[in-house]
Amino acid sequence: MKAYTTELSWRVIPQYNTQNKFSLLVLIIFTLFAVFHLFKNNYQSPLTLLSLNMKTSDHVRGSARMKKKSCAIFSGRWIPYPEGPPYYSNESCRSLMDQHNCMKFGRPDKEFMNWRWKPNECELPLFNPAQFLELVRGKSMAFVGDSVGLNQMQSLLCLLSSLPLFNPAQFLELVRGKSMAFVGDSVGLNQMQSLLCLLSSVAYPEDISHKYSLDSNYFKRHFYADYRFTVANFWSPFLVKSSNADNGHSLNGLLNLYLDEADEAWVNEVENFDYVIVSAGQWFFRPLIFYENSQVIGCHICDINNMTAIAKYYGYRMAFRTAFRTLQSLKNYKGTTFLRTFSPAHFENGDWDKGGNCVRKRPFTSQEMKLNGDTMEFYSTQVVELRAAEKQGRLKFRLLDTTEIMLLRPDGHPNKYGQSPHKNVTVNDCVHWCLPGPIDAWNEFLLYVMKTEDQRRDGSRL
């Protein structure tokens, strides 16, 4: 009742005398007259005000988008990351190939896993498996190139293996502070065991390689049924057609390279893919005979009399030019093409076939190692060809600029701690990369560029 009385007390109307009423009336008339003239000179209709408000909001949003600069993710340094490796281990990723499984084959140090790429002016987001799989839902991705491309695909499969099919975090949040009992016979125990297993479950694809190729070592396909996502690898170390030029086949044998003919191993497969990651590199150091228009034009270290010497860089340039032009010419290909730039090797104390190795245990700093020589020439050559392809305008071409970043990681290779797919090969591997390891950053870059592209596309729809 007290509260009700208080409420009524605020509604009591004061009783003014006649003089006060007259003074109040004059004041109101004067105020209205002044407001009328002000309103007349500055009047805008409610629709105009709404329109201005919307334009102002759009301008603010646009300005915010302009001010939000994208992260220059390829300029930075490797920093200690003691929490690493953050995603998976060689034991938790069951699709890991022996060639990249350094810990399985006895690598004694783990420090190479405890570094992370840090852009100079921003933070590179951690790889988010759920976010990646949502971006590629109902789509397909192909890695085209040599075995380092397969190395990157293996990294991606391992990164995605950390995604739970059953969401343990969501379940545990629902039962936070609560308890659950299974009452009954051993089938109830069976269900409880199932729940415990689900709380540690991960996402793995189905290996469907055998359905598409007789050589499942180099031509691989994996399918994530829940996301209808296919990821494939098409082995094509030169991107263009090649064949043996001498009798038999050896790791350093002479090869024919048809610079104006794309390799059918990938051309016949990628037309309906949504993303194609193109790369090539170390194979161009081999002895090569170059062909154009089905005619020999010269060779690289072929040791053949009366043969014109042509630099390996020319062959490299023409291979990428042919690959990009072929993608442009494919009638049904409308996907996004990524160039993953040249991946440097780190052989020391000899060449790859003369006892060279890579035993370092820490990254270089940018002061200790500079981009130059063959690495610089290969890198700049392929980037020039990418920019030329971009100017054609029909397709989207994007850059994964990994060369200088990986030049700083001599510690990331298997060296002798990996098993080559060629069982009789015993050379040290300073070309491929350990998993887990620095190559996982490539897929952090890939996700970032894809996500940025998706956000840009959404912004254009506003």
Residue 374 annotated among the catalytic residues of the structure: no
Phi-psi region of 274 (alpha: psi -120 to 50; beta: other; left: phi over 0): alpha
Residue 432 annotated among the catalytic residues of the structure: yes
Asked if residues 149 and 270 have their Cβ atoms less than 8 Å apart, the reply is no
**Residue 256 DSSP SS3:** strand
Residue 147 annotated among the catalytic residues of the structure: yes
Report how far apart, in Å, the C-alpha atoms of 52 and of each of 58, 66, 67, 279 are: 10, 20, 22, 50
Rounded CA separation 414/104 (Å): 11
Q: Give, as one character, the DSSP assignment of residue 429.
A: B
Asked if residues 57 and 94 have their Cβ atoms less than 8 Å apart, the reply is no
Helix 147-160, helix 440-460: angle, nearest 10: 70
Catalytic: which of 100, 300, 346, 432?
Answer: 432
Q: Give, as one character, the DSSP assignment of residue 106.
A: T
Closest CA to 263 of 286, 275, 288, 280: 280
Rounded CA separation 115/453 (Å): 27
Residue with tokens 């359905």: 211
Rounded CA separation 284/281 (Å): 6
- Name the H helices within 276-430: 312-329, 373-392, 403-407
Per-residue 3-state assignment (H helix, E strand, C coil) for 203-241: CCCEECHHHCCCCCCCEEEEEECCCCEEEEEEECCCCEE
Catalytic: which of 140, 147, 155, 161?
Answer: 147
Catalytic: which of 146, 401, 429, 440?
Answer: 429
Tokens of 36: 């009328």
**Which residues belong to the active site?**
147, 429, 432
